[in-house]
Amino acid sequence: MTDLNRRGLMYVLSSPSGAGKTTITKALLKNNDNLQISISATTRPRRAGEVHGQDYFFVDHNAFRDMVDNGEMLEHAKVFDNYYGTPRAPVEKALAEGKDIIFDIDWQGTQQLFELAAEDLVRVFILPPSRAALEKRLRERSRTTLESEEQIRGRMDKAADEMSHYTEYDYIIINSDIEAAITQAQTILSAERFKRRRLNGLSDFVRGLKEGL
Ligand code: 5GP
Q: What is the CATH number for 156?
A: 3.40.50.300
Predicted local distance difference test score (pLDDT) of residue 138: 85
* Alpha carbon distances (Å) from 80 to 66, 143, 172, 185: 21, 20, 23, 26
Q: Any alpha helices (H) in 13-148, and if so which ranges? A: 21-31, 61-69, 88-96, 107-117, 131-145
Whole-angstrom distance, CA of residue 198 vs CA of residue 155: 37
Q: How many angstroms does the Cα of residue 153 sit away from the middle of ligand 1?
A: 17
Is 204 part of any domain? yes
Is residue 107 a contact partner of residue 161, using CB atoms and an 8 Å limit?
no
Weakest mean pLDDT among 88-92, 127-131, 147-151, 189-193: 147-151
Q: Residue 166: inside a domain, yes or no?
A: yes
For all residues of the chain together, what is the average pLDDT? 93
pLDDT digits (tens, 9 = 90+) for 107-133: 999 999 999 999 999 999 999 999 999
DSSP class of 69 = H
Give 122-179 pLDDT, tens digit per residue: 999 999 999 999 889 888 877 777 788 888 888 888 888 999 999 999 999 999 999 9
Mutate to test the pocket of ligand 1, among 52, 105, 113, 165 (most ligand atoms within 8 A of CB): 105
47 occurs within a structural domain? no
- When pLDDT is cut at 50, 70 and 90, the band that residue 18 belongs to is confident
124 or 197, which is more confident: 124
Q: What residues contact residue 108 under an 8 Å CB cut-off, 6+ apart?
A: 75, 77, 78, 79
β-sheet bridge partners, residue 10:
101, 121
Q: Name the DSSP class of 4.
A: S
With the most atoms of ligand 1 within 8 angstroms of its CB, the residue from 38, 84, 166 to mutate is 84
Confidence (pLDDT) at 7: 86
For the ranges 102-111, 177-186, 191-200, the lowest mean pLDDT is seen at: 191-200
Give 184 Cα–ligand 1 centroid separation in angstroms.
Answer: 22
Residue 183 in any domain: the answer is: yes
Residue 41 has pLDDT above 70, yes or no: yes
Provide the domain count of the chain. Answer: 1
Query: What share of the chain has pLDDT > 90, as a percent?
Result: 73
Distance CA 139, CA 169 (A): 27
Nearest ligand 1 atom, CA 107: 22
Of residues 141 and 23, more confidence is placed in 23
Q: Is residue 1 pLDDT above 50, yes or no? A: no
Q: Find all residues with CB under 8 Å of 155, minimum gap 6, and list them.
A: 16, 17, 18, 80, 138, 147
Report yes or no on whether pTM surpasses 0.85.
yes
- Residue 82 lies inside a defined structural domain of this protein: no
What integer is the mean pLDDT of 34-51?
A: 95
* DSSP secondary structure code for residue 72 in this structure: -
Residue 143, domain member (yes or no) = yes
62, part of any domain: no
Q: Give me the pLDDT at residue 3, please.
A: 64
Residue 155's closest CA among 9, 16, 2? 16
Structural domain for 132, as ranges: 5-38+99-211
> Which class for 78: exposed (0-12), middle (13-18), buried (19 or more C-beta within 10 A)?
exposed
Res. 31: pLDDT tops 60: yes
Cα distances (angstroms) measured from residue 109 to each of 12, 24, 115, 126, 203: 9, 19, 10, 16, 33
Considering the domain boundaries, does residue 182 fall inside one? yes
Q: How confident is the model at residue 10 (pLDDT cuts 50, 70, 90)?
A: very high
